[in-house]
Amino acid sequence: MPVTPAAAKRIMDRIDELAKISESPDCLTRRVATREHRMANDLVASWMKDAGMQVREDAIGNVVGRYAAAERSTKTSSIMLGSHLDTVINAGRYDGMLGVLSALACVESLHEQNMRLPYAVEVVGFADEEGVRYQSTYLGSRAMAGRFNKLVLSREDEQGITLTDALTQFGTSADEIDSAAVNPDDLHAYLELHIEQGPVLENGNTPVGVVSSISGATRLMINLTGYAGHAGTVPMNLRRDALAAAAQCISIVERNCSTEAGLVGTVGRINAKPGAGNVIPGDVQFSIDIRAASDSLRVERVNTIVEEMSSVCASRNIEIDIENVHEAASVNCDALIVKHMQSAVASMNYDLITLPSGAGHDAAAMADIAPVGMLFVRCREGISHHPDESVTEDDAISGAQVLMQTVLNLCD
Ligand code: HGY
Ligand code: MN
Ligand code: MN
pLDDT in tens, 41-81: 999 999 999 999 999 999 999 999 999 999 999 999 999 99
The rounded distance, in Å, linking the Cα atoms of 390 and 367 is: 28
Contact 97, 18 (CB under 8 A): yes
**Which atom, in ligand 1's list, is nearest to the CA of 95?**
5
Task: Report how far residue 143's alpha carbon sits from residue 152's, in angstroms, rounded to the nearest whole number.
Answer: 12
Question: Domain containing 169: what range?
Answer: 5-214+330-411
255 and 201, same structural domain?
no
**Under a CB-based contact definition with an 8 Å cutoff, are residues 86 and 96 in contact?**
yes
- Residue 360, ligand 1, Cβ within 6 A: yes
Write down the pLDDT at residue 8: 85
User: Ligand 1 centroid to 412 CA: how many Å?
Assistant: 33
Residues with a beta carbon under 5 angstroms from ion ligand 2:
95
Give the chain's domain count. 2
Q: Cα Rg for the chain, rounded, in angstroms?
A: 22
| 237 pLDDT higher than 90 | yes
C-alpha 157, offset from chain centre: 18
7: confidence class by pLDDT, cuts 50, 70, 90: confident
Task: Give yes or no: residues 335 and 360 share one domain.
Answer: yes
Q: What is the rounded average pLDDT of the residues 362-384?
A: 98
Q: How far apart are CA 324 and CA 132, in angstroms?
A: 15
140 and 37 within one domain: yes
pLDDT, position 262: 86
Output the pLDDT for position 412: 83
The pLDDT of 243-258, averaged and rounded, is 98
Judgement on whether residues 164 and 48 belong to the same structural domain of the protein: yes
The predicted pLDDT at position 4 comes to 85
Q: Does 129 contact ligand 1 (Cβ within 6 A)?
A: yes
Q: Are residues 244 and 269 both part of a single domain?
A: yes
For the chain, give the secondary structure using H, E and C: CCCCHHHHHHHHHHHHHHHCCCCCCCCCCCCCCCHHHHHHHHHHHHHHHHCCCEEEECCCCCEEEEECCCCCCCCCCEEEEEEECCCCCCCCCCCCHHHHHHHHHHHHHHHHCCCCCCCEEEEEEECCCCCCCCCCCCHHHHHHCCCCCHHHHHCECCCCCEHHHHHHHHCCCHHHHHHHCCCHHHEEEEEEEEECCCCHHHHCCCCEEEEEEECEEEEEEEEEECECEECCCCCHHHCECHHHHHHHHHHHHHHHCCCCCCCEEECCCEEEECCCCCEECCEEEEEEEEEECCHHHHHHHHHHHHHHHHHHHHHCCCEEEEEEEEEECCEECCHHHHHHHHHHHHHCCCCCCEEEECCCCHHHHHCCCCCEEEEEECCHHHCCCCCCCCCCHHHHHHHHHHHHHHHHHHHC
Q: Are residues 16 and 83 in the same domain?
A: yes
One domain, residues 266 and 338: no
Among residues 290, 384, 395, 330, the alpha carbon closest in space to that of 87 is found at 384
Q: For a pLDDT cut of 70, what percent of the chain falls above it?
A: 100
Q: How far is the CA of 388 from the centre of ligand 1 (A)?
A: 17
Q: What angle do CA 130, 105, 360 make, to 5 degrees?
A: 20
User: Do both 9 and 91 map to the same domain?
Assistant: yes
Q: Is the CB of 139 under 6 A from ligand 1?
A: no
How confident is residue 293, by pLDDT bands cut at 50, 70 and 90?
A: confident
When pLDDT is averaged across residues 194-212 and rounded to a whole number, the result is 98
Q: Atom 6, ligand 1: which residue's CA is nearest?
A: 130
Looking at residue 69, its pLDDT comes to 97
Looking at all shown ligands, the one closest to residue 193's CA atom is 3
Question: Taking the model in full, what pTM does it have?
Answer: 0.91
- In ligand 1, the atom with minimum distance to the C-alpha of 129 is 6
328 Cα distance to chain centroid: 12
Asked whether the beta carbons of 257 and 290 are under 8 A apart, the reply is yes
Please state, rounded to an integer, the average pLDDT across all residues of the chain.
Answer: 97
54 forms bridges with which residues in the sheet?
A: 66
What is the mean pLDDT of the segment spanning 287-310?
96
Whether pLDDT at 148 is above 80:
yes
Query: Can you give the CATH number for the domain in which 292 is found?
Result: 3.30.70.360
Q: Given pLDDT bands bounded at 50, 70 and 90, which one contains residue 1? A: low
Ligand 3 center to residue 149 CA distance, Å? 20
Claim to verify: residue 297 and residue 360 sit in the same structural domain: no
- What lies within 8 Å, CB to CB, of 336 at 6+ separation is 371
pLDDT (average), residues 176-191: 98
Does 198 lie in the same domain as 73?
yes
Residue 260 has pLDDT above 70, yes or no: yes
User: CA-CA distance, 86 to 412, in Å (whole number)?
Assistant: 34
* Closest ligand by atom to 97 CA: 3
- 130 alpha carbon to ligand 2 midpoint, in Å? 6
Nearest Cα residue to atom 4 of ligand 1: 360
Nearest residue to 273 via CA among 226, 233, 318, 310: 226
Residues 322 and 196 reside in one and the same domain:
no
Asked which of 269, 298, 328 is the last residue of a domain, the reply is: 328
196 lines ligand 1 (CB under 6 A): no
Q: Are residues 209 and 345 in the same domain?
A: yes
Ligand 3 centroid–CA 130 distance in Å is 7
Domain boundary among 279, 294, 328: 328
* Cβ–Cβ < 8 Å for 31, 139: no
Contacting residues for 241 by C-beta, under 8 A, at least 6 apart: 226, 280, 281, 316
Q: Select from 287, 302, 328 the last residue of a domain.
A: 328
Q: Under a CB-based contact definition with an 8 Å cutoff, are residues 295 and 254 in contact? A: no
Dist. CA 1 → ligand 2 center (Å): 31
CATH code for position 146: 3.40.630.10
- Region of poorest pLDDT, from 1-5, 40-44, 113-117, 346-350: 1-5
